[in-house]
């Protein structure tokens, strides 16, 4: 291995913005849907690698609120792929004990897909090796607005007082209420932005950007990102 990492200082929570599927396919003269297929396969591999390294939480950005604006057939292709992978998840994950959770607003998803999501979340809820959070219909700003609305409701019904509101309390209203903030966020695909991913939670995350397209992303890339995190990791605010 080119990148030696310290297994005692592995980031607990890693986020990945899985970008570059379309360009991967286009460069090979293939349809964008082939890029999404290849990207789904990369997620399968990397989830296993993350579990092997000792990462406890992996949150992957799979479909954003903005992605609804893509052509209808691309959106439905992504949805079909999601269904297929969720249905056969235990076959793909090579016996790893992975808990799967979905974060985001899936209210506009097809009812059959929603049922499958619920089924997989339920049937994996006792697994503790790795928690894989799949961000679907996810947008950080949307998440913050829905947290604010829920808080307003609790305030109205006297469950919450104004002077009780602080950062910890606010965090409890987010999709990630029981998940630690991400230590490291990785974005393959060459773009250097967060595209509305974990906007609140990433306040102190380390960011690792690479030109490698998501379908080409390997364990070596993951180790390089973790090594980067380990070279940077320090306490903020204090000395
Ligand atoms: C990311 O790859 C996957 C989704 C957003 C669903 P893209 O489809 O954005 O790929 P590029 O950025 O066009 O290459
Ligand atoms: C971010 O990628 C969203 C996901 C990976 C699901 P996009 O390709 O949609 O983001 P932009 O358009 O580059 O900001
Ligand atoms: Mg993209």
In this structure, the residue with its CA closest to atom 6 of ligand 1 is 63
191 pLDDT exceeds 70? Answer: yes
Which atom of ligand 2 sits closest to the CA of residue 22?
A: 8
* Euclidean distance between CA atoms 36 and 215, whole angstroms: 8
Q: What is the CATH number of domain 13-140+181-230?
A: 3.40.1180.10
Both tokens assigned to 95? 């016996």
CA of 24, nearest ligand number:
1
Tell me phi and psi for residue 205, to 5 degrees: -75, 150
Active-site residue flag, 19: yes
pLDDT given at position 226 = 97
Sequence ranges of the domains in the chain: 13-140+181-230
Whether pLDDT at 234 is above 80? no
- Calculate mean pLDDT across residues 18-29: 98
Kindly provide the residue ranges of all beta strands, DSSP E only, lying in 191-234, ordered along the sequence: 206-209
Q: Of 234, 225, 171, which Cα lies nearest the Cα of 14?
A: 225
Nearest CA to ligand 2 atom 14: 195
Q: Which helix (H) or strand (E) holds 134?
A: strand 130-138
Q: For 166, list phi and psi in degrees, rounded to 5.
A: -145, -175
**pLDDT at residue 183 is higher than 70:** yes
pLDDT above 70 for 239: no
Helix (H, G, I), strand (E, B) or coil at 210: coil
**What ligand 2 atom has the least distance to the C-alpha of 135?**
6
If one compares 175 and 94, the residue with the highest pLDDT of the two is: 175
212 CB less than 6 Å from ligand 1?
Answer: no
Instruction: Inform me whether the pLDDT recorded for 101 exceeds 70.
Output: yes
What token pair was written down for 22?
Answer: 């379309």
Q: Which pLDDT value is given to residue 214?
A: 99
Mean predicted confidence (pLDDT) in 43-57:
97
How far apart (Å, rounded) are the C-alpha atoms in residues 21 and 130? Answer: 24
Ligand 2 geometric centre to CA of 222 (Å): 19
Q: What pLDDT digit, counting tens, does each position of 126-179 carry? A: 999 999 999 999 999 999 999 999 999 999 999 999 999 999 999 999 999 999
Ligand 2, pocket-test mutation among 42, 66, 198, most atoms within 8 A of CB: 66
pLDDT at 107 over 60: yes
Kindly list the protein residues whose Cβ atom lies closer than 6 A to any atom of ligand 2. Answer: 17-19, 61-64, 66-67, 191, 193, 195
């Amino acid at each position: 291995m080119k990148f030696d990492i310290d297994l005692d200082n592995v980031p607990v929570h890693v986020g990945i913005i899985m970008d570059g599927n379309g360009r991967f396919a286009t460069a090979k003269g293939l349809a964008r849907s082939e890029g999404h297929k290849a990207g789904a396969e990369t997620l399968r591999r990397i989830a296993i690698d993350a579990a092997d390294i000792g990462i406890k939480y992996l949150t992957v950005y799979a479909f954003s609120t903005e992605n609804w604006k893509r052509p209808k057939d691309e959106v439905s292709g992504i949805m079909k792929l999601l269904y297929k992978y969720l249905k056969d998840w235990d076959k793909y994950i090579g016996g790893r004990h992975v808990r799967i959770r979905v974060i985001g607003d899936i209210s506009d998803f097809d009812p059959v897909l929603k049922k499958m999501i619920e089924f997989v979340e339920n049937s994996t809820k006792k697994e503790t090796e790795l928690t894989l959070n799949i961000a679907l219909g996810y947008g950080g700003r949307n998440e913050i607005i829905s947290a604010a609305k829920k808080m307003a409701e609790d305030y109205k019904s006297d469950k919450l007082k104004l002077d009780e509101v602080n950062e910890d309390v606010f965090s409890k209203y987010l999709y990630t209420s029981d998940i630690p903030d991400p230590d490291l966020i990785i974005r393959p695909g060459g773009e250097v932005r967060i595209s509305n991913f974990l906007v609140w939670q990433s306040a102190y995350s380390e960011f690792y950007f690479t030109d490698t397209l998501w379908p080409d992303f390997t364990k070596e890339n993951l180790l390089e990102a973790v090594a980067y995190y380990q070279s940077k990791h320090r306490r903020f605010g204090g000395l």
